[in-house]
Amino acid sequence: MVRPLGLPFDPIERAGETWEKHFGPSSAMRAATSVFRVQQILLARFDEVLRPLGLTFARYEVLVLLTFSRLGELPLKVIGSRLMVHPTSVTNAIDRLVAAGYVDRRPNPADGRGVLAAITDRGRAVVEEGTRALTELDFGLAELGQADHEALFETLRRVRLGAGDVAPPEGNTPS
């Protein structure tokens, strides 16, 4: 769990005031810094409820992706691409999930050098438990309502689209 700071002031707001004195407008800096801090808070909340299951949020995401796949298995390179993480991170997560008995690894018959990860029955069971825990936690966003969740998603989605995470919808090509 992220340790509550209990400060008598908001350090990001204070940094924004100082920023403005030295560099100019601080709204983008304050927003970006807030995103980083909220990421720390959310990951700590997720890891706290997943730790008893022997999972981190990163490993939970791999298991969910495998659960959503048609056959319960995917090539490691596809996992990395879909989760937007480096291949080394995927290999590390798969190694730990295999050791826990949540995933089996085998050669990919369609790609002589590739590897498939397949979710096991134990993996499916732990996904159900983890999903229940994260849902009860409201994915760490209980302080916000559903309309806030949607607005936040749409706001952050624009940043992701601008970074090229997703191709723009047909007819909406960037100028």
The CA distance from 77 to 69, in Å, is 14
Q: Same domain for 122 and 69?
A: yes
Residue 163 lies in a domain: no
* Neighbouring C-alpha atoms within 13 Å toward the C-beta of 21: 6
The CA distance from 66 to 74, in Å, is 7
Per-residue pLDDT reduced to its tens digit, 20-64: 999 999 999 999 999 999 999 999 999 999 999 999 999 999 999
The CA distance from 98 to 86, in Å, is 19
- Average of pLDDT values for 115-133? 97
Residue 150, pLDDT score:
96
The answer to whether the pTM exceeds 0.85 is no
Residue 1, pLDDT score:
64
Q: Same domain for 24 and 47?
A: yes
Q: Same domain for 48 and 76?
A: no
- Average of pLDDT values for 150-158? 95
Are the beta carbons of 65 and 82 closer than 8 angstroms?
Answer: yes
Whether the pLDDT of residue 16 is over 90: the answer is yes
Residue 164 lies in a domain: no
Total residue count of the chain as it appears in this document: 175
